[in-house]
Structure 1
Amino acid sequence: MNLRHGMTAAVAGALIVVGNLAVGGAAEAATPSSAPAPAGVTHEQNPRVPEGSVWTEAYFPSSDHSGVQLHADVLRPADRPARAKTPVILAVGPYFGHAGQTGPEGFDRTGPSARFADFTSGTDLFARGYTYVTVDLRGFGGSTGCLDWVGPGEQADVKAAIQWSASQSWSTGKVGMYGKSYDASTGLVGNDLRQPALKAVVAQEPVWNMYDYLFSNGVPRPNVTGTPNAYNGIATMAAMPDDSARYQANAAYEATHPECLAANLTNNNEPDPDSAYWRSRNLAAKAAGTNTPLFVTQGFIENNTKPEDIELYLDNHRGVERGWLGQWEHVRGNETNGQGQLLQGRAGFFDEVMRFYDHYLKGIRPQVKDPAYAIEDSTGAWRAQATWPAATSELSATLPDGQYVDDGAASTLAAKAAPGDQQWDTEHAADPAPPAARSLAASTTNSYLSWSKPVTSRVRLTATPGITLKAGATGNVMVRLWDVAPDGTAVMFDENVALIEKKGRVAFDLKSTDWTFEVGHQLGVQIGTIGSGSWRDTPSGNTIAVTGAKLALSRQDPRTDVPTQGDRSPFLDTYLRQYTRVLTGVGPGTFSLGRS
């Protein structure tokens, strides 16, 4: 879509709403530029409106000429004239409905979503002279259309939202995107769309490739139908009684378009990652050559939006990058627990985010030099790097041959079998925790293990490990990596699975990692059946012989680390308790991790 045409169409189609009173765009144009503040609803009039802001609503068409109408909540600084131009921070997603984010939240009146109230208040966003806009993706909140799991339709919505935000009379034309989880993924979409108005993206714990959330290399995850069902539930959430007639009608769109919900369930059950459906949702591949300044966070031991295809996305991205990467769960950069501990362990997230936005949306060069990447490794230590990953050497380890029975028998690390229809969304999902620690034998009928030689100096495995092997039969395969101490105590720190559709060569990536081995530790590689827990496998019952297995690893020398501020993230100890076992029968090792 031509940029100029998109802006013109967006402005022509806009409808400004003040409270429940619809006012045409011409009325706003008639407001004198010397007006003390924008027209709209203030915090004093409605406590759901953030302090220091004025709330209005707007509607505009998506950019794909589908007839979809998008709804936006607009929060302008209350202390600025109506026509004062400001940069725009934009969030686009499914969680901005007036009744609640993922379900009704018991409000007694309508109002803008409080999803990122911590961000707007924690940064003094309005006092700093920014406008904050949230846009409902098609099918959610006050927008029409069929929900689309970050597909071409929702990508058109993101494009329209960026163009609309940049084209308003009160906008400087410079837009930054902000989000976590689903609305972090829409930020990645914004970058992929190469929109000139988009100057910066902050994406916390996104999904880097939408396929990875529902499948792993042809194997469905247990939420493969539950997640689409969860979003169908969000899409059909009723509006508030005092919402405008237009908002209420849009919120009820699915009542007259039941095909939306049916298609969302059917489409997301495609197991082939190379299908047209999933290629259009491969955000990492679509990032090739993009250059929007990007600030990301990612937990390496995330139990929700896992670190899959992050390396591909960052490799494909060519612009400025910032990142906080470490050992935490699905949390925001500023989030704390009941004891006041920062859940990502590092202080100053909002300060750094605003230096980032001020730089790229206002041209204010920061007085503080932040590291491009701040990374917490598996020991809880933080370091600064110019990029990630920053491997100092590569290794291809040849693994011994072996075999296993693909019977789906639960391994000692598998969680209790999860319901097949777990209804989780990307904001609240979490793989079930495994059972209490038990021993694991080096050789069973369901899997076999091989070992590296003990390391003689500290070695860090970073980036994305990859496995290739020859399978003698069809079925499923799981690969897990263990950090094994001299006493046999071991932590499983990486894993992935794949469907073996035909016997022969199988190749797939594990999750990205950043794990440091202490002197005397060994790498254990487990190959076997999937078992229950994080995947919904269909055991073949075959005995699968594995030959010619090679493990590709990226190593980094910890001696080159440049320390930076940050404390041990609290979840690291939780993870270690959950995923530590005692391995029996550990051998002397058949390959060397060498010096990093």
Structure 2
Amino acid sequence: MHRNAARPSTMAMTLALIAMIAVLLPVATPAGAQPEDTTHWEFDVPSLDGTILDIDVIRTEGTPVDEPQPVILVVSPYTLPEGDGPSSRFDDFFEATGALEQGYTYAIATMRGFGQSEGCSDWGGPGEQMDVVAAVEWAADQEWSNGNVALLGKSYDGWTGLMGMANQPDGLAAVISQEPVFDGYRYLYDDGIRFANSLVTPTSFMTLSPPTCAVEFYTAQQDDRADSAFWQQRELINASKGSDVPLFLMQGFLERNTKPDGAFAYWEGIEGPKRAWFGQFDHVRGTDAENSPSGYAVGRADWAEQMMIFLDAYLKEDAAAEQAWLDLPQVEVQDNQGRYRGEDAWPPADAVVRTSTINGGAYTDNGLNFGSPTGALVSFGTAPVTGDGIWSISQPLPGDRHLAGEPVLDLDLVVTAPRTNVVGNVYDIAPDGTATLVSRGADMIRLPGLVHHRLEMYGQDWVFAEGHRIGVLISGSNAEWWVHVPTQSPVAVIEAFAELPLLDTPRTDFDAGGFETSRLRQHNSSTFTVPAPVITLNETPFNVG
């Protein structure tokens, strides 16, 4: 292991590294988490503002020190050293792909405020974005690099990949981002309504960061308005629009951590070569194993193979790999039956928005309704309240109908109290009344009065079977999902429309390797029954094409 003893300037750092390469042969050193048969170096690298970052570099043992290789870089707060060695956070990736043996170098940059890096975490802010830029440009500029760097990550370090997409540092040739944060605000809030992690996540980061800076950012994170300066600095959907960095994106429709809010707007804004997997999975990696037909939590087994085609195409600039990558469908999407299929875009071009007039009425913003029994906090043996609100239920469907996109409810409301909750759910209701949640959305109406509001809901790819019904519920809460502060006020829905993106053409061509995930099985088992009188009373014709 080599570690720079001093903290030199960028020029001094470069000269010192060149000198080291000229006179030293790297020696493999025992390390707690270091992959077998590898060599490990450790460097102090200045970020753009001078904050020193700890960066580990790992190569296959015996690789000439001056042999230029493409670099796979992880920039993360989660990559603290383990024993005498580097973090093992992405060892699974390198075991699955064999990337080190195939001529790649692995670099790990620990973000400011964590591990042996200096400074304060600013939770996705300008400081961390500078760290991403500095780490990419440093890695691209080394003699042992061929100048092409890919950012790899999942969750928070998936977010840092998108910071790279937004800032486009020199040398960034590709990004692999699995289940990322697209917007720091949307990770903690939904238009003013908290998720439980709006308190938990900032508190956990306070325990890991120096107290003086942690308190500052904890306070800023409690602002529930998305337009604050703090949150605008952490919004990457618009910041990444037009980026031409090649991207592989993975997003679960059934995510419970980094939820799909904003995912598809982000996707549509990227202009470079891009591919995505959108499917019925949770907060997982493409390599995560599970006890299911595919053996993997994403419902298919070819993730590692596809990632190496992607990396060879854009980091090794292999023309055959690039053509193989471009020949793949831009999107692989998994429906609620576990089937994957290729699409040129998602939502697909033939997803036609069908608008239906749905029932008006009134509900009380009392925080009692649960959108789904999953996650419900049952007290005193009492089952959670479900189906409490204004129902609109379609006629039995004359054939299969395939929703592919993000439903929207267009509402005219009379709101009597500030900061009122409005929630929409879409359900698949079987002939026996069993209701399965398909999509949800929630907003806070901040001021009372006559309000026109468009409630955008989570995207989904869902086939409603012939004879089933589509149900829409308007209420004041999904208590298992959001942390509502009920106003106990009445809300009148004067006029309402449901906009459902339904495919014009049935899909019949599916990938052979797609299977149901354990997360999908769990989701489909979390149901409740809509009583027959409720269905009869609230039946209204839906436009389903």
SS at match of 1:331: coil
SS at match of 1:472: strand
Give the match for residue 317 of structure 1: 270
Return the match for 1:80 from 63, 72, 80.
63
Show CA shifts across 1:219-240 (max 9, x none): 11122111011122333xxxxx
Show CA shifts across 1:247-272 (max 9, x none): xxxxxxx2xxx321101211111101
CA–CA distance in structure 2, aligned partners of residues 138 and 330 of structure 1:
25
Give the match for residue 397 of structure 2: 455
Does residue 345 of structure 2 align to residue 387 of structure 1? yes
Could you say if the C-alpha distance between residues 550 and 333 of structure 1 is closer, same or farther in structure 2, counting changes exceeding 3 Å?
Answer: same
Percent identical pairs in the alignment equals 33
Q: Give 1:304 shift.
A: 1.2
Give the match for residue 452 of structure 2: 505
Return the match for 1:50 from 22, 30, 35.
35
Q: Give 1:119 shift.
A: 0.8
- Contact 2:393 2:540 (C-alpha < 8 Å) held by counterparts: yes
- Contact 1:438 1:582 (C-alpha < 8 Å) held by counterparts: no
CA–CA distance in structure 2, aligned partners of residues 160 and 196 of structure 1:
9
- Contact 1:399 1:551 (C-alpha < 8 Å) held by counterparts: yes
Show CA shifts across 1:442-465 (max 9, x none): xx5xx1111223322221112222
Show CA shifts across 1:40-83 (max 9, x none): 434xx3352112321111111112x2x31111111122231110
Could you say if the C-alpha distance between residues 185 and 12 of structure 1 is closer, same or farther in structure 2, counting changes exceeding 3 Å?
Answer: same
Return the match for 1:482 from 407, 427, 443.
427
- Contact 2:408 2:500 (C-alpha < 8 Å) held by counterparts: yes
Does residue 526 of structure 2 align to residue 578 of structure 1? yes
CA–CA distance in structure 1, aligned partners of residues 454 and 340 of structure 2:
32
Give the match for residue 97 of structure 1: 80
Give the match for residue 4 of structure 2: none
CA–CA distance in structure 1, aligned partners of residues 317 and 375 of structure 2:
52
SS at match of 2:43: strand
- Contact 1:415 1:534 (C-alpha < 8 Å) held by counterparts: no
Q: Give 1:325 shift.
A: 1.3
SS at match of 1:30: helix
Give the match for residue 358 of structure 2: 399
Give the match for residue 22 of structure 2: 30
Show CA shifts across 1:463-521 (max 9, x none): 22222312211311111110111221110121121111123122232111111111122
Which 4+ stretches in 1 moved above 3 angstroms? Answer: 8-15, 367-370, 410-418, 435-441, 579-584
Could you say if the C-alpha distance between residues 71 and 489 of structure 1 is closer, same or farther in structure 2, counting changes exceeding 3 Å?
Answer: same
Return the match for 1:172 from 146, 150, 165.
146
Bigger drift between 460-469 and 582-591 goes to 582-591
CA–CA distance in structure 2, aligned partners of residues 179 and 492 of structure 1:
30
CA–CA distance in structure 2, aligned partners of residues 218 and 583 of structure 1:
33
- Contact 1:455 1:592 (C-alpha < 8 Å) held by counterparts: no
- Contact 1:11 1:167 (C-alpha < 8 Å) held by counterparts: no
Q: Give 1:415 shift.
A: 5.8
Give the match for residue 493 of structure 1: 438
SS at match of 2:268: helix
Return the match for 1:471 from 408, 413, 418.
413
SS at match of 1:559: coil
Q: Give 1:132 shift.
A: 0.5
Return the match for 2:302 from 340, 348, 363.
348
- Contact 2:369 2:385 (C-alpha < 8 Å) held by counterparts: no
Could you say if the C-alpha distance between residues 196 and 550 of structure 1 is closer, same or farther in structure 2, counting changes exceeding 3 Å?
Answer: farther
CA–CA distance in structure 2, aligned partners of residues 579 and 307 of structure 1:
21
Q: Which amino acid aligns with 1:378?
A: N
Task: Name structure 2 gaps, 5 residues minimum.
Answer: 1-7
Does residue 480 of structure 2 align to residue 533 of structure 1? yes
- Contact 2:147 2:171 (C-alpha < 8 Å) held by counterparts: yes
SS at match of 1:563: coil
Show CA shifts across 1:263-292 (max 9, x none): 121111110112221122111111111111
TM-score, length-normalised on structure 2? 0.90
CA–CA distance in structure 2, aligned partners of residues 391 and 486 of structure 1:
31
Give the match for residue 543 of structure 1: 490
Give the match for residue 238 of structure 1: none
Return the match for 2:237 from 281, 284, 289.
284
Q: Give 1:26 shift.
A: 5.0
Return the match for 1:71 from 44, 49, 54.
54
1:143-542 aligned at under 5 Å gives the runs 143-235=117-209, 254=210, 258-338=211-291, 341-364=295-318, 365-366=320-321, 369-392=327-350, 393-411=352-370, 413=372, 440=386, 444=388, 447-473=389-415, 474=417, 475-502=420-447, 503=449, 504-530=451-477, 532-542=479-489
RMSD: 2.4
Q: Give 1:136 shift.
A: 0.9
CA–CA distance in structure 2, aligned partners of residues 500 and 386 of structure 1:
37
- Contact 1:324 1:374 (C-alpha < 8 Å) held by counterparts: yes
Q: Which amino acid aligns with 1:363?
A: E
Give the match for residue 517 of structure 2: 569
CA–CA distance in structure 1, aligned partners of residues 107 and 54 of structure 2:
10
CA–CA distance in structure 2, aligned partners of residues 378 and 415 of structure 1:
17
Q: Which amino acid aligns with 1:590?
A: T
Q: Give 1:417 shift.
A: 6.7
